[in-house]
Amino acid sequence: MLAFVKCFSLKRTKHPPGYEDPHVLASETPFTVNEIEALHNLFKKLSTSIIDDGLIHKEEFLLALFRKSSMQNLFADRVFYMFDRKRNGVIEFGEFVRSLSIFHPHTPEHEKSSFMFKLYDLHGTGFIQADELKKMVGALLSETDLELSEESIKAIVEQTMIEVDTNKDGKIDEEEWKELVAKNPSILKNMTLPYLKEVTLAFPSFVLDSEVDD
């Protein structure tokens, strides 16, 4: 009997560090078990694109999102930071699913708003200050074809602070941020990825479909 138990245990699937049961993740996110299993296939593809260790390193994350494994961009750094919940420099499977769930169409808007607030709160103080807002606006603009002068960005930040900082303490707290989002729901437009409603084994086709750019 003991030999049978040992034989059975040897045949158990060995999962990499950070792997979590799809049923547990499905109970905590909008994804179904089948969708999480499909996401695991995607995760395996991402986590072996450069370093084959079952974890998503920053270079692999950048390759998937921006087609480049090495780049300097505050926005990219912040997104990776938000996915890396354990702050250990890599993204584990559980972190990947939970963070990606924020972008699911069925995730409540207040959770999306909170995620975005933390994205802009560069210093982790619970507030967004003018310098943090300016840095993030600049980082986001660098990912578009829109070019604005330093003076224009400064003017945008100053006007935003005037309108959003209602208690005039020189920073934006989460309540003021919620009011901003309520008045301008389009702010959360990029926080929803419609195709996450139908995750399949082929999801998503755009990931890693090009060569690595150094």
Structure pTM? 0.81
Classify 108-190 by CATH class: mainly alpha
**Start-to-end C-alpha separation, the chain:** 55
**Is the Cβ–Cβ distance between 26 and 101 less than 8 Å?**
no
What's the CA gap between 48 and 57, in Å, rounded?
A: 9
Predicted pLDDT of residue 63: 85
**Is the Cβ–Cβ distance between 82 and 118 less than 8 Å?**
yes
Question: pLDDT-based confidence at 9, cuts 50/70/90?
Answer: very low
What is the CATH number that goes with domain 30-102?
1.10.238.10
Predicted pLDDT of residue 71: 62
Q: Which segments of the chain are extended strands (E)?
A: 56-57, 90-91, 128-129, 171-172
Predicted pLDDT of residue 103: 92
Is it the case that residue 109 has pLDDT exceeding 90? yes
Q: Which residues is 68 bridged to in the sheet? A: 213
What's the CA gap between 100 and 195, in Å, rounded?
A: 12
Is it the case that residue 67 has pLDDT exceeding 60? yes
Tokens 């009011």 belong to 179
* Mean pLDDT, residues 116-120: 95
Percent of the chain with pLDDT over 90: 62
| Pairing verdict, β 171-172 and 90-91 | unpaired
Question: pLDDT-based confidence at 200, cuts 50/70/90?
Answer: low
Q: What is the pLDDT of residues 162-179, one digit of tens each?
A: 999 999 999 999 999 999
Predicted pLDDT of residue 147: 82
Angle at 30 between CA 15 and CA 102, to 5 degrees: 90
What residue spans in the chain does CATH classification 1.10.238.10 cover? Answer: 30-102, 108-190
Is it the case that residue 130 has pLDDT exceeding 90? yes
The per-residue pLDDT of the chain, averaged, comes to 84
* Mean pLDDT, residues 26-32: 95
